[in-house]
Structure 1
Amino acid sequence: MPVYDYECAECGAFETVRRIAERDEPVACPQCGATAARVVIGAPSLGGGSPDAREETGGYGMRHFGGCSCC
């Protein structure tokens, strides 16, 4: 299972192993038990596509832009 980053307002950042289907659901902080939201970081653009390239949605809700180099 994948590891995801979460951030507790009181305790700070932590990682947790979760199923992909549960990745966006809040999780309890392992230190204080407060609800923590997932940290979402955008991937940098590697170029190759035009700025007006059409966005496509792939598996698991991942977004790909025309000319992306990830796949």
Structure 2
Amino acid sequence: MPVYEYLCNDCGPFTDIRPMAECDLPHDCPQCEMSSPRVILTAPNFFCMPSERRKAHATNERSRHAPRTSAEYKASHGPGCGCCSGNKPARLMTKTKGGAKGFPTARPWMISH
């Protein structure tokens, strides 16, 4: 269950763990027992999250709302990139019927993107 923040007019802010179905309902203050509305006082605790997970969240947010264009994708790969340029000799690069490129002799343990 998530932790929600509430603000009592007399006692100040307090937090409580409640079911998500009750997220918008007011809650009684633990000190004076007055009904208090839910408020958002602090940002989510992303700083406690490992950096790999933060990067994954950032990537998911970017890809969901603003996917990269083909120009942005090509800009992230430098000139002579093995996946984007056709400068590889035919013996180092193979193509399947679907158009996928493969590099069987260069590094067989790597998967091309």
Classify the TM-score, shorter chain.
0.5 to 0.7
Task: State the 1:7 CA deviation.
Answer: 0.3
Code of the residue aligned with 2:6 in structure 1: it is: Y
Counterpart position of 1:29 = 29
Other structure's SS at 1:25 match: coil
Q: Which has the higher helix share?
A: 2
Q: TM-score, normalised by structure 2?
A: 0.37
Aligned mates of 1:39, 1:21 — CA distance in 2: 16
Q: Give 5+ residue unaligned stretches, structure 2.
A: 44-63, 67-113
**Paired-residue identity, %:** 47
In structure 1, distance between residues paired with 2:13 and 2:39: 9
Cα deviation, residue 40, structure 1: 3.0
- Give yes or no for the alignment of 1:66 onto 2:59: no
**Max radius of gyration: which structure?**
2
Gaps of 5+ in 1: 44-64
Aligned residue type for 1:32: C
- Equivalent AA in structure 1 for residue 14 of structure 2: F
TM-score by length of 1: 0.57
SS at match of 2:10: coil
User: Following the alignment from structure 1 to structure 2, what is the Cα–Cα distance between the partners of residues 40 and 25?
Assistant: 14
Runs of 4+ more than 3 Å apart: none
Distance in 2 (alpha carbons) for counterparts of 1:13 and 1:3:
13
Q: Structure 2 counterpart of 1:66, which letter?
A: H
The yes-or-no answer on 1:38 pairing with 2:41 is: no
Q: Which has the higher contact order (CA 8 A, sep 6+)?
A: 1
Which secondary structure does the structure 2 equivalent of 1:21 belong to? helix
1:66 to partner: Cα distance: 3.2
